[in-house]
């Protein structure tokens, strides 16, 4: 009985020793890993610091260059202003000398009278400096056809059976017409639209036009929309509208 128990205890001790050894190895490995990680991140931090320092130095150097460029541009602008001011002063001096009397100029030239070419030049310059008159060539509402009521040339006639309305409609607009009846009135209405584009050099122009039209005819007698006929006659659409009394007479018969 003693031997199996001792063997079991020996086996347990062996297992415990192996587990303890594995724990020690694992802890040692973890320490090595932590050391490697600390070293890695330390090196990476140094790299970042060096790159940041280089970037800061680069920005500072660029800032110095930009400042130098701004100073140079300011100096160039100042020189340009001084040159323009000098030109203005010279022009003023020329004009003032040109407007002086011939006698005063003769005194400066030792008694010799100059020709009046300077006066003519000064007068020419003053005329050239005057603004050209602004002219307006646009049409007004009164003269622009866009704002005018157009007579389309439609006409109406009467016979015993009814009324005949001939409404103007060219071939490309013949399908845009319609007629409606209101007691003793007939209304012819329609619409048309058009869009176009043209190119003139580097300019592209577009126009879109939309127009509605309405013609109302006051008829002498009441009419009806039943039995209206429509036919094409030249540039006109002919609507034949029966009189109400004629339709009633036909029904009585």
**Nearest alpha-carbon partner for 113 in 103, 128, 126:** 103
Please give the Cα distance from 173 to 242 (Å, whole number). Answer: 25
Q: Are the CB atoms for 210 and 146 separated by under 8 Å?
A: no
- Alpha helices, H only, 99-134: 102-108, 117-129
Which of 17-26, 37-46, 113-122 is predicted with the least confidence, judged by mean pLDDT? 113-122
Tokens 């007629």 locate to: 179
- What are the pLDDT digits (tens) for 59-77? 666 555 667 777 878 888 8
Residue 113's pLDDT is 47
Which has the higher per-residue pLDDT, 92 or 243?
A: 243
Q: What is the mean pLDDT of the chain?
A: 78
Q: Give mean pLDDT, residues 18-36.
A: 86
Which has the higher per-residue pLDDT, 126 or 114?
A: 126
Residue 132's pLDDT is 56
- What are the pLDDT digits (tens) for 181-235? 888 899 999 988 888 999 999 999 999 988 888 999 998 888 988 889 999 999 9
pLDDT of residue 14 exceeding 50: yes
Domain spans in the chain, listed from the N-terminal domain onward: 1-98, 101-130, 145-252
Which of 57-66, 88-97, 163-172 is predicted with the least confidence, judged by mean pLDDT? 57-66
Contacts 24+ apart (CB under 8 A), 110-118: 118/94
Please give the Cα distance from 155 to 197 (Å, whole number). Answer: 35
Please give the Cα distance from 33 to 245 (Å, whole number). Answer: 114
Residue 199's pLDDT is 92
SS3 43: helix
Antiparallel, parallel or unpaired: β 185-200 and 178-182:
antiparallel
Pick the CATH number of 145-252 from 1.20.1250.20, 3.40.630.10, 2.60.40.790, 3.30.300.30: 2.60.40.790
Please give the Cα distance from 223 to 240 (Å, whole number). Answer: 11
């Amino acid at each position: 009985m003693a031997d199996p128990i001792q063997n079991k205890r020996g086996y347990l001790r062996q297992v415990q020793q192996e587990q303890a050894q594995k724990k020690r190895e694992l802890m040692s490995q973890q320490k090595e890993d932590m050391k490697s990680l600390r070293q890695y991140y330390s090196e990476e931090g140094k790299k970042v610091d060096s790159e940041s320092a280089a970037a800061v130095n680069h920005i500072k150097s660029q800032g110095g260059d930009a400042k130098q460029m701004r100073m140079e541009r300011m100096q160039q602008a100042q020189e340009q202003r001084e040159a323009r001011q000098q030109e203005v002063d010279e022009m003023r001096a020329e004009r003032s000398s040109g407007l002086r009397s011939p006698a005063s100029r003769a005194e400066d030239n030792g008694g010799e009278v100059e020709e009046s070419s300077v006066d003519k030049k000064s007068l020419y310059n003053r005329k050239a400096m005057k603004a050209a008159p602004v002219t307006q060539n646009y049409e007004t509402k009164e003269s622009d056809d866009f704002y005018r009521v157009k007579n389309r040339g439609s006409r109406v006639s009467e016979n015993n059976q009814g009324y005949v309305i001939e409404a103007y409609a060219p071939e490309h607009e013949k399908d845009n017409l319609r007629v409606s009846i209101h007691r003793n009135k007939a209304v012819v209405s329609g619409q048309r639209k058009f869009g176009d584009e043209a190119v003139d050099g580097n300019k592209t122009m577009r126009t879109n036009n939309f127009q509605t039209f309405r013609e109302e005819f006051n008829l002498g007698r009441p009419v009806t929309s039943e039995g209206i006929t429509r036919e094409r006659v030249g540039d006109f659409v002919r609507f034949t509208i029966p009189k109400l009394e004629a339709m009633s007479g036909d029904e009585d018969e």
